Structure 1
Amino acid sequence: MDALGFAIFALAALAGGFVSGFSGFAMGLVVSGVWLHIITPIQTATLIAGYGLLTQGYGIYRLRHVLDLRKAWPLALGTVIGIPIGVEILVYLNPLYLRFGVGVLLMIYSIYGLARPVFAPMRIGTGADIAIGISNGMLGGLTGLGGVISTISCQWRGWPKDLQRAVFQPVLFIAFVVISLSQAAAGSITRETLVLYALGVPFMVAGLWSGFKMFGTIQDETFRKAVLALLLLAGLSLVVSTLPFSADR
């Protein structure tokens, strides 16, 4: 990678870290759109999982004062169950149709949420949470967006922003653990990728720190809308990835 390529790589890491620090998720969404143009898809996926462990671990540490594993474990358990199911189902489905359908649903949900007042808080039991977690993991195995459904479910409950993140970030951390172990078993983690990871860490951490600083200054409603905007972007990116010019890239 030449100097220009590394500069682009580092700026994407900085932006991804900032978005993760601010919202608690969507780092992979931000960096993949850039990294896929300068490094291989396998390297991109491996780095996203590795940096996901860093960003989610940092978020858990920063929110440890409100951490409640009793609320997080059903979602985490379901996610672990759901990831391999999603990967297996992917063998039998057309990924283009799948990404398009999920993308449209995310866009509809996000636009509706942005256009109307806050949803009335819902009470969700342990069994339903495990089922939500399984859906969350399956979507991650199918599309790579492993934290979307758990993030949405935290919004449904009407929790304050700190508690939302203290629940869905441990779920994302567990998902990245499973993904990283799978990548290690498949031999995807190479020396070159580890060097890139080490070089990008300072930029990722700088973005993460600054994003968390901004997160501490915003109100719950602003956080709700920011999450919905990121979900809208996630849906749009899935739809765009199915278009003919994207497939030919």
Structure 2
Amino acid sequence: MMDTTSLAAGWAVVILGAALQAATGLGGGLVMVPLLALVDPMLVPGPLILSALSLNSLMVYRGRHEVAFGSLWPIIIGMVVGAGAAWPLLSYMEGPETQLIFGLMVLAAVGISVCGWSPRVTGRSMVIAGVVSAFMGTTAAIGGPILALLYQRCSGPEMRATLAGLFFVGSLIILVILGERGRLGLPEFAAALLLIPGWLAGYWLAGPIARRLDAGHTRAVVLIIAGGSSLWLVARGVRAILDGMG
């Protein structure tokens, strides 16, 4: 059980990340994963993913009239395939080289998008995005930016609600994998319950930010967050490789 100081620090981190996630549709993990690991390593990944279900549920309910339901099933099918492909490879792909490669892939996609290109939302692209997102999310914990790049031309409310629905399903898939690997038990469930108030507070704070972003700034923020996520992953991979060589 966390002490009072750790709990307060954990809430502060989750509030910040949840506000970012609820306002933009992604990016919460970029803030929370490294900071929560410093507060208490047992908070990631299981408790964080479990508690995040509360925010995703609220976002889907709030944006239930905006969700692009037609694109959910192709992506979900792709996510199941991607997670299934990653599952037996986890022990081989958890190294820094994988983080570096995936980070560079996302960074390249962001760079192309900044130049004006964006993927067409078709059945094929949705399935591919689902496969890649789940594969990268399972092996390197960075699946969100791929989906966000697919929806970068959508309105803010549609993108936030749709991504929340996809993240909810993706989280359930990852939780199943964590459970099978013995990394999801009663201590993780108890810690997740303690984090939920932070998610709710962040959701409440995100409203004014989301309204400002909806005034034509959503795509720019998505590209910034996706780029930041990829740079963080590249830096983490390079650092791990250099430490291994030292």
Class of the TM-score when normalised by the shorter of the 2 chains: 0.7 to 0.9
Task: State the 1:22 CA deviation.
Answer: 0.9
* Match of residue 105 from structure 2: 105
Confirm or deny that 1:230 pairs with 2:225: yes
Contact 2:51 / 2:193 at 8 angstroms: preserved in 1?
A: no
Task: State the 1:229 CA deviation.
Answer: 1.2
Q: Which amino acid aligns with 1:91?
A: S
Structure 1 stretch displaced more, 225-234 or 103-112: 103-112
Cα–Cα, structure 1 residues 94 and 19, in superposed 2: closer, same or farther, change >3 Å?
closer
Deviation string 1:103-133 (CA, Å, 9 cap, x unpaired) is 223334435545x4x546x543323321221
Contact 1:76 / 1:170 at 8 angstroms: preserved in 2?
A: no
Contact 1:147 / 1:171 at 8 angstroms: preserved in 2?
A: no
Cα–Cα, structure 1 residues 2 and 220, in superposed 2: closer, same or farther, change >3 Å?
same
Confirm or deny that 1:131 pairs with 2:128: yes
* Match of residue 175 from structure 1: 170
Cα–Cα, structure 1 residues 108 and 131, in superposed 2: closer, same or farther, change >3 Å?
closer
Q: How does 1:148-227 map to 2 (within 5 A)?
A: 148-155=145-152, 158-219=153-214, 221-227=216-222
Residue 45 of structure 2 aligns to a residue whose secondary structure is helix
Residue 177 of structure 1 aligns to a residue whose secondary structure is helix
Cα–Cα, structure 1 residues 203 and 34, in superposed 2: closer, same or farther, change >3 Å?
same
Confirm or deny that 1:147 pairs with 2:144: yes
Query: What RMSD in Å do the two structures reach over aligned CA positions?
Result: 2.4
Structure 1 stretch displaced more, 173-182 or 217-226: 217-226
Q: Which amino acid aligns with 1:58?
A: L
* Match of residue 48 from structure 1: 48
Deviation string 1:67-88 (CA, Å, 9 cap, x unpaired) is 2311221111111211121232
Contact 1:14 / 1:207 at 8 angstroms: preserved in 2?
A: yes
* Match of residue 86 from structure 2: 86
Contact 1:146 / 1:175 at 8 angstroms: preserved in 2?
A: no
Task: State the 1:94 CA deviation.
Answer: 6.4
Task: State the 1:244 CA deviation.
Answer: 4.3
Structure 1 segments unaligned to the other structure (5+ residues): none
Contact 2:52 / 2:199 at 8 angstroms: preserved in 1?
A: no
What is the alpha-carbon distance in structure 2 between the residues aligned to residue 246 and residue 58 of structure 1? 42
What is the alpha-carbon distance in structure 2 between the residues aligned to residue 227 and residue 233 of structure 1? 10
Deviation string 1:139-194 (CA, Å, 9 cap, x unpaired) is 11221122221211112xx2222222233222211100111223334443333333
Contact 2:19 / 2:205 at 8 angstroms: preserved in 1?
A: yes
Confirm or deny that 1:62 pairs with 2:57: no
* Match of residue 4 from structure 1: 5
Cα–Cα, structure 1 residues 8 and 63, in superposed 2: closer, same or farther, change >3 Å?
same
Contact 1:72 / 1:168 at 8 angstroms: preserved in 2?
A: no
Task: State the 1:236 CA deviation.
Answer: 1.7
Task: State the 1:44 CA deviation.
Answer: 0.8
Residue 64 of structure 1 aligns to a residue whose secondary structure is coil
* Match of residue 34 from structure 1: 35
What is the alpha-carbon distance in structure 2 between the residues aligned to residue 185 and residue 89 of structure 1? 14
Task: State the 1:246 CA deviation.
Answer: 8.8
* Match of residue 74 from structure 1: 74
Cα–Cα, structure 1 residues 173 and 206, in superposed 2: closer, same or farther, change >3 Å?
same
Cα–Cα, structure 1 residues 58 and 213, in superposed 2: closer, same or farther, change >3 Å?
farther
What is the alpha-carbon distance in structure 1 between the residues aligned to residue 230 and residue 216 of structure 2? 21
What is the alpha-carbon distance in structure 1 between the residues aligned to residue 92 and residue 195 of structure 2? 36
Task: State the 1:2 CA deviation.
Answer: 3.3
Deviation string 1:172-218 (CA, Å, 9 cap, x unpaired) is 11100111223334443333333322222112211122113321232
Count of residues in correspondence between the two structures: 242
Cα–Cα, structure 1 residues 100 and 123, in superposed 2: closer, same or farther, change >3 Å?
closer
